[in-house]
Structure 1
């Protein structure tokens, strides 16, 4: 697995346009690879670092630097294989996560259920705690910093305008199942992974 950092120039017209549409931003990110998101196992996160706006990526394949667009500056890429393999059960990590805490609600007369955002803080923290147990970690502490909404535009055939609620979490966690936890880092947490959610950023 690779970690890549790319700085973004927010005043560049094309970058500015894509930042305002999560579907277009997703297409820009996937253009950095020669395969689709599932094959390249891409997770990404837009983050403000000091005075720079950057996008961080986890992927099973390296970014093709020839595909980096104007308004993007390639900062570096690191193979995380040894880092992942060095993790141990019981380790404590600080985490940073953008996620969309939802529940599935059955719809009358329809085969597929619909995702609904959880509206209370207690529900959302409980959701993240459950995700932790499912993904090999225990929440030791967690705070919700702020919420927001991603917007974008599908094709008309797929319903036109799209909206995706997101919440920002920081805290500490402890690894309780190393294999599940490593998989969670690679696969992400919760829905919205195509649109910059679910990437678990870690530091000690």
Structure 2
């Protein structure tokens, strides 16, 4: 597995296209692999990506992938081709040293959704969570199955009933972007995302490794589901 990072230049038209359309960014990421990307499903590692908006002018695309990418076209279209390239590191050493009880800082951009039924007898409909409280609840419901638990704050550091965990929900976005169906019909795809920054404790290293390489939640093709770890300090 590999972890890659490329910085985008928001002043360039190519970067603005990628930032406005997750579908366009997905196409650019897919084109980075000479043999294409693995088909979703089967439970194996897949290509995941995420855009980090650290500031107005500092935007990075992170990619986790089974194969090493070639991001020349992304740099040429949307980066600084004469001064900066991209970084790719072997992700395996980090994955292999995960152990139960360790604490890590994490970042995750996800598409928190749930299925609801408005009336008896109607089929369920996938609907996005739109408040920070419900988006965090979505993440907490998935922590045990994915080998981690969000670190709880000591009571003397809690500022209210919704400040129980060492995590913040930010960069919440709701957008629509164009998608052309195989039939040629054009649709507008709605996408609600939220970014989580916090600290977690490893409870099941194998389950966590699996999630880090297969993603968490829906809309993985559109920049959701990639969690990255960093030293908790």
Gapped regions of structure 2 (runs ≥ 5): 152-164
Partner secondary structure for residue 85 of structure 2: strand
- Change in CA separation of 1:125 and 1:48 when aligned onto 2, cut-off 3 Å: closer
Rate the CA distance shift 1:183–1:153 in 2: closer, same or farther, 3 A: same
Displacement of 1:170 in angstroms is 1.2
After superposing the two structures, state which structure 1 stretch, 37-46 or 130-139, moved more: 37-46
Question: Does 1:125 pair with 2:136?
Answer: yes
Q: RMSD value over aligned CA atoms?
A: 2.3
SS in 1 for 2:137: helix
Between the aligned partners of 1:172 and 1:131, the Cα distance in structure 2 is 15
Give 3-state SS (helix, strand or coil) of 1:38's partner: coil
User: As a proportion of its length, which structure holds more strand?
Assistant: 1
TM-superposed deviation, 1:65: 4.4
Deviations 1:77-127 (A, max 9, x none): 1011121111111111111111111112358565xx431112443332221
Residue 4 of structure 1: aligned partner: 4
- Deviating more after overlay: 58-67 vs 155-164: 155-164
1:61 to 53, 67, 71: 67
Higher alpha-carbon Rg = 2
Conservation of the 8 A alpha-carbon contact between 1:22 and 1:151: no
CA distance in structure 2 between the aligned counterparts of 1:179 and 1:129, rounded to whole angstroms: 19
SS in 1 for 2:143: helix
TM-score by length of 2: 0.78
Question: May I ask how many residue pairs the two structures share in their alignment?
Answer: 202
State the Cα distance separating 1:150 from its structure 2 match.
3.6
- State whether structure 2 residue 162 is matched by structure 1 residue 155: no
User: Gapped runs of 5+ residues in structure 1?
Assistant: none
- Most deviating of 171-180 and 155-164: 155-164
What is the aligned partner in structure 1 of residue 26 from structure 2?
26
Query: What's the CA shift string for 1:17-45, capped at 9, x where partnerless?
Result: 23211111211111111313537711111
